């Protein structure tokens, strides 16, 4: 293969003569293409002695017989211009030479391997497109991974699993540690840990053996910055291959502030628990005091009240003949005060002893109101009061509690319409803001109230009218509010020149008890 391309066009010899001159293997066509790919045998002058079908296909050789032709006359001209001289020099020096060319039109890569021997040279041709494409994809993948590594906002660095030398660090790590990149890549991983903690971490994680690639191990530990500052981090480590190194990838997140926040939260929780214990102790004391007060209302106060009222009645009955008009007036005042005090005690006991709702059932508020108004008319038979009621007003509630609330509301309406020649009271059920609730309305044409003090109406002992004008102790509406709240509802009131209206909301999403 020492002649020029022009000389070899006229120096070929026949195939039979070449085979007589050279010692060559048997016919190449008998060798499986999949095993040898393309093969070409050349004599000492570089002329083709034999060629298999795969080599013809790779060379795009259309000539029916290329035996005796110079090899470089058969290959594409651009390939001969690029590789002929280099191949001649390489074979002269080492008897071996190979190169890979990219055929842009076909879009493939062909590897040429020349092996010189005593009889000439053997050329093998192999399509390495798949390997080239795989290598290109791998290279592109590595490039993208490197970009992701460099651009990751989390501090990340890589160290060799054997030498422990740091072999890569992203920009976030450079900024986090405050260490220039060139200096960073001269350190061993232990330099980033407080004394001895790096070795302890390696020992605890056992990262150099036994762990699968990509499997992460997470620990909270300390890291040391260039200025000596120690920070608490969450460290995630995993094995991987990095540029032909068995390496460990380290990704970290600064959790110093979170740790301080957790400490502050634990301290606040402890303080809250202490405060809760104090509140619970105060609540228990208040509960005991309330129980004592309730007992006093139910027992201790009832006896003296009944005794005082009884003695006043006896004084009025037995000694009225010896009492003058002033004495009789004083006895009547005493008895009225006793009745008012007894009513106050009863109302206080009801207020402090309001139980949670018991049996939920359908209560006909219309029928209940008729019974209560009948009692009110017996008290004041000369009053003319019109009741406006639907035939039936069904409400799902605790009947005992609703009775107490309606007693207070009707008594309130009856009292404040007392100065009307013809009073009227209206009781109705209205739809609530949501389908699962009803609003109980009690309205009257009484004197109403000052709207500026609406927020005080339901406060115990708050009265918006003088006791000289209207008797009462200011507990009735507080009981009404308590009944609504125990049902999970609420209350409000409205006033107008024609009277006042009171509203109680009752949720209706609780099924009534079966009868």
- What Cα–Cα distance (Å) separates residue 110 from each residue in 41, 97, 125, 128, 132? 18, 14, 7, 6, 10
Q: Are residues 266 and 237 in the same domain?
A: no
Establish if 189 belongs to a structural domain.
yes
Q: Are residues 227 and 330 in the same domain?
A: no
Establish if 159 belongs to a structural domain.
yes
Establish if 15 belongs to a structural domain.
yes
Q: Are residues 345 and 360 in the same domain?
A: no
Q: Are 480 and 450 a contacting pair, CB within 8 Å? A: no
Q: What is the DSSP string of 290-340?
A: HHHHHHIIIIITHHHHHHHHHHHHHHHHHSTTT--HHHHHHHHHHHHHHHH
Residues 6+ apart with CB under 8 A from 80: 5, 72, 73
**Amino acid 347: pLDDT:** 64
Residues 6+ apart with CB under 8 A from 40: 48, 50, 51, 52, 55, 71, 122, 123, 124, 125
For 494, half-sphere exposure in the C-beta direction (CA atoms, 13 angstrom radius) is 8
Query: What DSSP character marks residue 365?
Result: H
- Count of CB atoms within 10 A of residue 327's CB? 14
CA 356 from chain centre, in angstroms, equals 37
Render pLDDT for 331-351 as a digit per residue (tens, 0 to 9).
Answer: 878 877 777 677 667 666 666
The domain containing residue 103 runs over which residues?
A: 7-127
- What Cα–Cα distance (Å) separates residue 81 from each residue in 90, 104, 245? 15, 16, 41
Could you give the number of structural domains in the chain? 4
> In this structure, what token pair is assigned to residue 204?
């605890």
Render pLDDT for 439-451 as a digit per residue (tens, 0 to 9).
Answer: 999 999 988 787 7
Q: Are residues 113 and 167 in the same domain?
A: no
Q: Are residues 179 and 224 in the same domain?
A: yes
The model's pTM is: 0.42
Q: Return the H-helix or E-strand segment holding 247.
A: strand 245-254
Q: Are residues 269 and 292 in the same domain?
A: yes
Establish if 134 belongs to a structural domain.
no
**Amino acid 484: pLDDT:** 92
Q: Are residues 12 and 90 in the same domain?
A: yes
Q: Which CATH number fits the domain that encloses residue 480?
A: 3.30.565.10
Establish if 150 belongs to a structural domain.
yes
Domain boundary (349, 366, 401) is at: 349
Q: What's the N-to-C CA distance of the chain in angstroms?
A: 115
Q: Are residues 486 and 382 in the same domain?
A: yes
CA 457 from chain centre, in angstroms, equals 44
Q: Which CATH number fits the domain that encloses residue 36?
A: 3.30.450.20
Give the span between the Cα atoms of 416 and 427, in whole angstroms.
16
Establish if 2 belongs to a structural domain.
no
Establish if 514 belongs to a structural domain.
no
pLDDT < 50: residue spans in the chain: 2-35, 208, 210, 465-470
Domain boundary (94, 127, 160) is at: 127
Q: Return the H-helix or E-strand segment holding 88.
A: helix 77-94
Q: Are residues 300 and 396 in the same domain?
A: no
Strand ranges for 333-448 from DSSP E: 360-364, 385-388, 394-398, 423-431, 437-444
Give the span between the Cα atoms of 408 and 418, in whole angstroms.
16
- What Cα–Cα distance (Å) separates residue 315 from each residue in 272, 305, 323, 448? 61, 15, 9, 40
Establish if 476 belongs to a structural domain.
yes
Give the span between the Cα atoms of 353 and 213, in whole angstroms.
70
Q: What is the DSSP string of 37-74?
A: -EEEEE-TTSBEEEE-HHHHHHHT---S--TTSBHHHH
Q: Return the H-helix or E-strand segment holding 135.
A: helix 129-151
| Residue among 211, 257, 210, 214 nearest 234 (CA) | 257
Query: What DSSP character marks residue 230?
Result: E
Q: Are residues 31 and 96 in the same domain?
A: yes
Q: Are 252 and 154 a contacting pair, CB within 8 Å? A: yes
Q: Are residues 448 and 371 in the same domain?
A: yes
- Count of CB atoms within 10 A of residue 214's CB? 9
| Residue among 380, 420, 406, 379 nearest 483 (CA) | 406
Query: What DSSP character marks residue 239?
Result: E
Q: Are residues 20 and 112 in the same domain?
A: yes
Domain boundary (297, 328, 349) is at: 349
């Amino acid at each position: 293969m020492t002649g020029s391309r022009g000389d070899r066009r006229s120096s070929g010899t026949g195939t039979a003569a070449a085979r007589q001159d050279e010692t060559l293997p048997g016919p190449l066509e008998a060798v499986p293409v999949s095993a040898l790919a393309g093969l070409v045998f050349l004599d000492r002058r570089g002329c083709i002695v034999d060629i298999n079908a795969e080599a013809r296909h790779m060379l795009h050789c259309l000539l029916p017989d290329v035996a005796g032709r110079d090899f470089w006359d058969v290959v594409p001209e651009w390939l001969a211009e690029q590789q002929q001289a280099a191949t001649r020099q390489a074979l002269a020096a080492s008897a071996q030479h190979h190169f890979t060319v990219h055929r842009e039109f076909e879009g493939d890569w062909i590897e040429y391997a020349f092996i010189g021997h005593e009889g000439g040279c053997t050329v093998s041709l192999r399509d390495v497109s798949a390997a080239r494409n795989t290598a290109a994809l791998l290279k592109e993948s590595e490039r993208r991974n490197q970009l992701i590594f460099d651009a990751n906002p989390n501090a990340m660095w890589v160290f060799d699993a054997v030498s422990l030398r740091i072999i890569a660090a992203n920009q976030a790590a450079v900024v986090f540690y405050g260490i220039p990149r060139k200096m960073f890549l001269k350190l061993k991983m232990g330099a980033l840990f407080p004394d001895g903690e790096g070795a302890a971490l390696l020992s605890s994680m056992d990262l150099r053996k036994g762990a699968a690639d990509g499997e992460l191990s997470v620990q909270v530990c300390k890291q040391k910055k260039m200025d000596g500052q120690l920070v608490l981090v969450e460290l995630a480590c995993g094995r991987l291959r990095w540029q032909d190194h068995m390496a460990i990838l380290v990704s970290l997140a600064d959790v110093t502030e979170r740790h301080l926040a957790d400490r502050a939260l634990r301290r606040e929780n402890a303080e809250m628990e202490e405060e809760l214990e104090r509140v619970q102790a105060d609540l228990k004391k208040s509960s005991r005091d309330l129980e004592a007060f309730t007992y006093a209302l139910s027992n201790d106060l009832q006896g003296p009240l009944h005794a005082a009222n009884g003695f006043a009645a006896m004084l009025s009955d037995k000694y009225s003949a010896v009492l003058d008009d002033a004495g009789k007036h004083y006895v009547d005042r005493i008895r009225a005060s006793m009745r008012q005090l007894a009513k106050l005690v009863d109302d206080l006991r009801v207020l402090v002893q309001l139980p949670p709702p018991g049996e939920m059932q359908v209560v006909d508020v219309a029928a209940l109101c008729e019974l209560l108004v009948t009692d009110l008319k017996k008290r004041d038979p000369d009053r003319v009061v019109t009741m406006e009621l639907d035939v039936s007003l069904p409400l799902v509630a605790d009947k005992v509690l609703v009775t107490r609330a309606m007693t207070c509301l009707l008594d309130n309406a009856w009292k404040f319409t007392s100065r009307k020649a013809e009073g009227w009271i209206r009781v109705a059920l209205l739809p609530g803001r949501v389908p699962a609730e009803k609003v109980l309305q009690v309205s009257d044409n009484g004197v109403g109230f000052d709207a500026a003090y609406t927020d005080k109406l339901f406060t115990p002992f708050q009265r918006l009218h003088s006791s000289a004008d209207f008797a009462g102790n200011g507990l009735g509406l507080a009981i009404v509010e308590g009944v609504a709240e125990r049902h999970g509802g609420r209350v409000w009131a409205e006033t107008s020149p024609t009277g006042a209206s009171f509203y109680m909301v009752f949720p209706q999403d609780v099924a009534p008890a079966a009868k």
